[in-house]
Structure 1
Amino acid sequence: MTALPPRILATQDAEALMQKLTARHGPLMFHQSGGCCDGSAPMCFPRGEFKVGGQDILMGHIGDDIPVWIGAAQFEYWRHTQVTIDVVPGRGAGMSLESPEGVRFIVRSRIFDDDENALLEAAGDPPTGDALVGQTA
């Protein structure tokens, strides 16, 4: 069986910052903003400090333990896109944990090719309903 392409990735620089933030704040989570706060920036929070709701979908995890959520309406636009969280110099306008560090998380993306889309669709990824919507992780 062919492995499914991951929906969410992170660069080495972003992962290094996540490790630093985890050491300072404990387990992390991300929510991909749909336009408020800082455009459509990935917002990093201590896990549990951002309440995911019934309209949020779990895109996947960075590493084994950092969940990345997105609003269902936003996901519909991005469902054919692989998202990579990166970090760049500068300060975002949001309340994301990296703000005091003088950097900000951003997303880079690419469109899945036809074969990858077919694999994801055949696997029912992401599952609909309660499998991924509004669960705390």
Structure 2
Amino acid sequence: MFSSACGVSEATWTRTAAITAGLSDTDFVAAAFTRQAGWADYGRVTINSGANAGARREVRSHGADGLIELWEPFAAPLVVGDTVSITAGCDKRLATCRDRLANGASFRSLPHLPGTDATCRYPDAR
């Protein structure tokens, strides 16, 4: 997502908020981050201030009330008050590209091509 071929502006899909609670090494709450749950799934968090400034991690899931779960912890503990930039995620599905990002024309895959499992459904020629 957000490549030159994609054509979607990363700045349009990035929000900034402050950490209001650090729940664990990989979970935190940014209460001012009021996007609907799932908005940041598969997205990215960039730390803007504090000991982890400049570090990035991928978002595992984004729940209600600004709960963010990361795949990997940061080097230093997350501190309440540190600011973060949260970028929306992309699950690489046509429906997401078309409906959420209004970018279906630039979708770069073959969503209607049957997979190899489709060839296994037919009887053998013997």
TM-score by length of 2: 0.29
Q: Pick the structure with greater CA Rg.
A: 2
Q: Which of the two has greater strand per residue?
A: 1
Q: Which of the two has greater helix per residue?
A: 1
